[in-house]
Structure 1
């Protein structure tokens, strides 16, 4: 059974999954808002390129690696990105970042997931946006966070996976921001480390 997360909520991944999670995936999905065509006939969707990224931080809260559409794999191989989806077309997750929790280097304290509108549109032009955490071993959804809060923001700090007493936990941050890439969000992310 999946947990619908609210902004600021923290959960134990193992407790919610009912077992020790070893491999998770963060899925991102969205659709472009359809607008009425000429004189109200027909509908069309603007192409919106949302990008999922994740930044790995060490104990000193310094970024040690980043996985995004320009680097689809972490240097150590523990995290993989599914690739860039530039439209949000189709059902299900449009982008996915897979994390082998057992292989994440010991010096990594936290992994922060972000979503950015690379094409610059605000989230007022996005609908049905969500991020979800899956048990990648069996495909079951562990937690879901609705990103469709409409607003003039073009980015969001979605969630953080972090180590606490030898266990991985998740913090649903859900904080709006602006910027076309994760880089623009680093000062804001620092407030959540």
Structure 2
């Protein structure tokens, strides 16, 4: 049975799902019936975060141009440039057993590519969700539907997976940013230039 979460909720992943070590973070969205002349190219990313809540360098930032961490603990499966079709539009695979011990959180985000140039924002995006799937058997563990809370934002922190002792937990965040990827990178301690 899938658990549906609301913004701000936290839930245990590994304690209530013994043996859960590798998950698929599936992200999906639709665009409203708006035609600005360009496809909506939304991009999922993962930020490996340390005790101070910041990433330390480019190896801690996983996205379509840097598709995996050096040890393979987090892997981006590929860029969907249109968001067409049902189900997950992009996926990030995370192996809890490989995440370095000094990484305390993994921030999962979505940005709109070239949002400013294309006059696009999350007010034009609907049905956005994240789901956690047990990679070993394909079972959906939880789902967080973002709702329609956004207007001018061009980047969203969807959720964070975080370590508490030996267990991993999930927090539904749904926090929007203006300024796209550069704003997210700055939030997480990286220089986007």
TM-score, structure 1 normalization: 0.85
- Who is 2:62 aligned against? 67
Query: Aligned pair 1:31/2:30, yes or no?
Result: yes
User: SS state of the match for residue 71, structure 2?
Assistant: coil
Measure how far apart 1:97 and its partner are. Answer: 0.3
Measure how far apart 1:61 and its partner are. Answer: 3.0
Aligned length: 181
* 2:7 and 2:146 in contact (8 A); partners too: no
Measure how far apart 1:137 and its partner are. Answer: 1.2
Cα distance in 2, alignment partners of residues 15 and 33 from structure 1: 38
Name the structure with the higher strand share. 1
Cα 1:96–1:45 shift into 2, 3 Å: farther
Cα distance in 2, alignment partners of residues 92 and 85 from structure 1: 12
2:79 corresponds to which of 84, 104, 119: 84
- Who is 1:21 aligned against? 20
- Who is 1:4 aligned against? 4
Cα distance in 1, alignment partners of residues 104 and 125 from structure 2: 32
Give runs of aligned pairs for residues 166-181 of structure 1, distance below 5 A.
Answer: 166-181=166-181
Extract unaligned runs of 5+ from structure 1. 37-43
* 2:80 and 2:90 in contact (8 A); partners too: yes
Extract unaligned runs of 5+ from structure 2. none
- Who is 2:165 aligned against? 165
User: SS state of the match for residue 158, structure 2?
Assistant: strand
Larger radius of gyration: 1
- Who is 1:111 aligned against? 106
Cα distance in 2, alignment partners of residues 24 and 159 from structure 1: 14
